[in-house]
């Protein structure tokens, strides 16, 4: 693309000198020194090899060549001011747009609620997906930040650990296993499991653990959402894999069953690429995520 020969500063100088009729008043109007404004005018005319102003003593009057262009220059400068105001609105959180992803709604809605209450002018687009799918979206630039579950943060990300959670089985409330309350890893092989999609951080960590321990669970269902997994468990189709914090203690349909020893723990993180971490919206999101839960 051809680089513009005149900068916005130079166009602002031309417009100010034409509007105020002199170097000194134009310099005051746009916050530059008189020598700077004078040098800009001389450089522009020298580059174009033509005069743009008729000199009448200390007065500078736009000639026909410049006068016909002044409305276009003024429109361009007004558009520049509008863009600048819009971007400053983003920086000051008086507007803007923030795209985020989350893998576990139970852990993120409180943070989003506080963000919306404090920064109501910022529009949020939030999508739910598995942690590893969200990581791919983050690296592609589809989202600016993500709330995800991992064993440890991946390199190249700015990660804030929000909480650590024990991985448990989700059992139908009132079942024999729910009444027992715990199970050993060696017993997993006899169970029919209901798992989240392959991109789930909880599923990947669980699969890695049973592989390391040499356990092969019976084939079950792979479902695309936590709510569908909960419903399948409640219907007696198998046992789900979840984090303890995802299962409410007073849930009337499902209950948490501990696994181990050893216990498997995962972190729930807010992550962003370092180059986006310091943007106003993402920085504000991190600040709220770091606050203690009410």
Q: If phi over 0 gives left and psi between -120 and 50 gives alpha, with beta otherwise, what is residue 258?
A: beta
According to the model, what pLDDT value does residue 189 have? 85
> Is 74 exposed, middle or buried (CB count within 10 Å of its CB: 0-12, 13-18, 19+)?
middle
According to the model, what pLDDT value does residue 89 have? 64
List domains and CATH numbers for the chain: 1-62 (1.10.10.10), 164-265 (3.40.190.10)
According to the model, what pLDDT value does residue 220 have? 78
Lookup: tokens for 79 = 């558009």
According to the model, what pLDDT value does residue 226 have? 86
Write out pLDDT tens, residues 143-197: 889 999 998 888 889 999 999 999 999 999 999 999 999 999 999 888 889 988 8
According to the model, what pLDDT value does residue 92 have? 66
Average pLDDT, 10 consecutive residues per value, the chain (294 residues): 73 91 91 91 91 91 89 79 68 78 92 92 91 90 91 90 94 94 91 88 91 81 86 93 92 94 94 84 91 71
CA 219/CA 207 separation, integer angstroms: 12
CA 189/CA 85 separation, integer angstroms: 61
According to the model, what pLDDT value does residue 6 have? 84
């Amino acid at each position: 693309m051809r680089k513009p020969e005149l900068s916005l500063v130079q166009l602002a100088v031309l417009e100010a000198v034409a509007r105020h009729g002199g170097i000194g008043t134009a310099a005051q109007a746009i916050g530059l020194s008189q020598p700077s404004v004078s040098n800009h005018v001389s450089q522009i005319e020298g580059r174009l090899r033509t005069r743009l102003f008729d000199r009448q003593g200390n007065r500078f009057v736009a000639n026909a060549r410049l006068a016909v262009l002044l409305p276009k220059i003024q429109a361009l400068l007004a558009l520049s001011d509008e863009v600048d105001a819009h971007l400053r609105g983003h920086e000051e959180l008086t507007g803007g747009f923030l795209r985020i992803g989350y893998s576990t709604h139970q852990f993120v809605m409180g943070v989003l609620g506080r963000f919306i209450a404090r920064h109501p002018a910022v529009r949020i687009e939030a999508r739910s997906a598995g942690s590893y799918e969200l990581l791919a979206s983050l690296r592609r630039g589809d989202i600016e930040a993500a709330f995800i579950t991992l064993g440890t943060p991946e390199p190249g990300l700015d990660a804030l650990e929000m909480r650590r959670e024990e991985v448990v089985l989700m059992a139908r409330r009132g079942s024999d296993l729910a009444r027992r309350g715990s199970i050993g890893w060696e017993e997993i092989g006899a169970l029919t499991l209901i798992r989240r999609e392959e991109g789930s951080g909880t599923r990947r960590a669980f699969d890695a653990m049973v592989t390391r321990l040499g356990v092969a669970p019976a084939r079950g269902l792979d479902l695309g959402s936590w709510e569908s997994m909960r419903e399948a468990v409640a219907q007696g189709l198998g046992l789900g894999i979840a984090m303890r914090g995802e299962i409410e203690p007073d849930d009337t349909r499902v209950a948490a069953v501990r696994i181990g020893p050893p216990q498997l723990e995962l972190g729930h993180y807010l992550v962003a690429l370092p180059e986006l971490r310091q943007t106003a919206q993402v920085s504000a999101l991190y600040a709220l995520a770091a606050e203690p839960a009410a």
